[in-house]
Amino acid sequence: MKNSDPIHSSGDFFELLKRSGYNSQSAISALPENKALEIPQGTTVLAFHYKDGIIVAGDRRATAGNAIMYERCDKVIPIDDYSLMAIAGVPATAFEMARILSHNFEYYRRSQLRNMSTEGKVRALSRLLKDNVAMAMQGVGAVSPLFAIYDIQQGKPFLYFYDMLGAEFQILTHVATGSGSPMIRGVMEHENLWGSCPLEERSQEQAMSLAIRLLQTAAQFDSATGQARPEDKLYPIIAKITKDGYQFISDDEMEDIYKASMKRN
């Protein structure tokens, strides 16, 4: 029997959540304002185009006020086979957004028998951020994400930056957000304009080495950004988006890349 429900026929997962009574803000809306400082925050993430696609990276530290809460926070989150979200802000809110996005993309694929377009995926994250404005204004749910996606039909990657109100900006070269980002934006621009070659022409090895150096630089000037600690096998999280989808760099690979990256040229 054909389903005539317009929600099912449209593949609108957000409307389905609303009809089911889901409210992501209900658990936090009653918090007093002074609780905001006790909520962990993720810090520095960055992304840039390189020869084969996009590199996405982040440090691993989560802080609450001036306290270090966690040193192994994963700030780069896979959404589907061809998209990644990097988070700066409150991890709890960002992880919930990532789960909703992942279910949204899969719900659309199954209900419409095709994948959601890149534009649709980009707008879906914007919609979640706009719905989160009230929590962001309270200081208990602010998120400033990066979104990287490879469009199979167009055969090229796309990179977007979002502000906390949901405005989206396509990034053609490089971007960083979070507390350590002001320390490395200028470095990224210098590398792109006057480095050995533009970022989009760099190999995977060169791109990953630069990502590690950038995060180490941010950590030198920003206490909320965690440094790599080889003795504890603690390294930044780095992933790539290419025509083959996303892939995270393993800790064993990171060890070798880190050692090579920290050598003076």
Q: Which residues are catalytic?
A: 43
Three-state DSSP at 113 gives: coil
Q: For residue 88, what are its two tokens?
A: 């700066």
**Quick one: which of 168, 167, 166, 186 has its CA closest to 176?**
186
Three-state DSSP at 179 gives: coil
63-97: string of b/e by CB count within 10 Å (b at 16+)? beeeeeeeeebebbbbbbebbbbbbbbbbbbbbbb
Q: For residue 141, what are its two tokens?
A: 């749910």
238 within 8 A of 208, measured Cβ to Cβ: yes
